[in-house]
Amino acid sequence: MPESFIFIDALLRRPVPRTPVWFMRQAGRYLPEYRKVRERAGSFMNLCTNPELACEVTLQPLRRFRLDAAILFSDILTIPDAMGLGLSFAEGEGPRFAHPVRSEADIERLPRIDPETDLRYVMEAVRLIRRELNGRAPLIGFSGSPWTLATYMVEGRGSRDFRQVKTLLYDRPDLMTRLLDKLAEAVADYLNAQIAAGVQAVMLFDTWGGVLPTEDYRDFSLAAARKVRERLQLGAGESRIPAILFTKGGGQWLELQAETGFDALGLDWTCDIGQARRRVGDRVALQGNLDPVTLYASPAAIRERVGRILENYGPGSGHVFNLGHGILPDVNPDHVTAMVEAVHELSPAWHR
């Protein structure tokens, strides 16, 4: 019999006794135990590419908090790194690529990667984490979305105005489509390899979809995400692997997102979760959406805000509690405990 987890059940809108909870970037700098491992690794990339260390930091938050899922410790930019773009991380500046993708020739040169070979360290980490979890919680795999990967690949680094990637989209939509098609294929191959290695849910992080005008979001970012979804090998029945789509800043497009075939949509903190539920109906589950800054407030205020989100969602399954984006690096872990415990204590009333 397949293992039963309330996280999986909620994503598939099956009945659950309470609302499951995990949070984005739950393994990270806010934890002193993470900082020790990061120092031992010597660099962020060394940490990502060492399966034993990636396993250790993946499991750390589950030892400290009563969480309902683990998420693979990795980075969203592993695919372009494997394509040879020269990824590096400068302290305080974020990711950079030595070889940005700016021309038709650059796009045509991008190789098709073999995840089991070119990203073997990720697959080894997945297998090791599954073994160490030993059925305690399900493991989430993930990738950056094709559009989000394209933004970094074309800009060569993070951006405030996305002028390079948007100019490419506006001047040469055919080239942008070609780039996104290549990336959709790579992302699907990567997530399918993670599934084969043992992840039990997958999440597509469309971090920068929200910077686009509506028609461009629909025709480029969301169209590429749909192509990824169509290629995913998620199984069926009791062994079905749920897939989550999260577009930061994309709350105005939930109806479009619900048509893509993903099982759940992530919400950032700008969405009212009750309104979101009414808009999508029973087509998808919803994940979110506490403002990450709430965790700087007092435990009493955190509990009140958790209760407000649970009440706004209302009775029944289909909700996974999460932050509306990643946890901030200097949050007090005791405040995270307050959030998690509030979900455990307050949510059963909505599942009777």
Mean pLDDT over 261-276 rounds to 98
The total number of structural domains in the chain stands at 1
Percent of the chain with pLDDT over 70: 98
For residue 189, tell me if it sits in a domain.
Answer: yes
Is residue 29 flagged as an active site residue?
A: yes
Q: What sections of the chain are H helices per DSSP? A: 6-11, 32-41, 44-49, 51-64, 78-82, 104-109, 115-118, 120-133, 146-155, 163-171, 173-197, 214-216, 223-231, 254-257, 273-280, 299-313, 333-346
Is residue 38 flagged as an active site residue?
A: yes
For residue 197, tell me if it sits in a domain.
Answer: yes
For residue 21, tell me if it sits in a domain.
Answer: no
For residue 163, tell me if it sits in a domain.
Answer: yes
308 falls in which pLDDT band (50, 70, 90)? Answer: very high
Task: Exactly one of 29, 127, 231, 283 is catalytic; name it.
Answer: 29
CA 103 to chain CA mean position, Å:
29
93 falls in which pLDDT band (50, 70, 90)? Answer: low
pTM of the model: 0.96
Higher pLDDT residue, 211 or 157?
Answer: 211
329-346 per-position pLDDT tens digit:
999 999 999 999 999 999
Distance CA 337, CA 308 (A): 18
Task: Exactly one of 9, 13, 34, 75 is catalytic; name it.
Answer: 75
Distance CA 45, CA 32 (A): 19
325 is in an annotated binding site: yes
Which CATH number does the domain housing residue 104 bear?
A: 3.20.20.210
Range of the domain at 126: 71-233
127-136 per-position pLDDT tens digit:
999 999 999 9
Mean pLDDT over 17-32 rounds to 96
* Encoded amino acid at 86, one letter: G
**Predicted confidence (pLDDT) at residue 90 exceeds the cutoff of 90:** no
For residue 242, tell me if it sits in a domain.
Answer: no
pLDDT of residue 160: 86
Task: Exactly one of 30, 34, 152, 217 is catalytic; name it.
Answer: 152
**Predicted confidence (pLDDT) at residue 275 exceeds the cutoff of 50:** yes
69 is in an annotated binding site: no
For residue 139, tell me if it sits in a domain.
Answer: yes
pLDDT of residue 1: 34
Task: Exactly one of 13, 18, 34, 38 is catalytic; name it.
Answer: 38
207 is in an annotated binding site: yes
Distance CA 64, CA 78 (A): 28
13 is in an annotated binding site: no
Say which DSSP state 17 is in.
S
Q: What sections of 134-287 are H helices per DSSP? A: 146-155, 163-171, 173-197, 214-216, 223-231, 254-257, 273-280
For residue 299, tell me if it sits in a domain.
Answer: no
pLDDT of residue 158: 84
Distance CA 310, CA 16 (A): 14
36-88 per-position pLDDT tens digit:
999 999 988 999 999 999 999 999 999 999 999 999 999 999 999 999 998 88
**Predicted confidence (pLDDT) at residue 2 exceeds the cutoff of 80:** no
For residue 296, tell me if it sits in a domain.
Answer: no
Show Cβ contacts of residue 195 under 8 Å, excluding neighbours closer than 6 positions.
141, 202, 232, 233, 234, 241
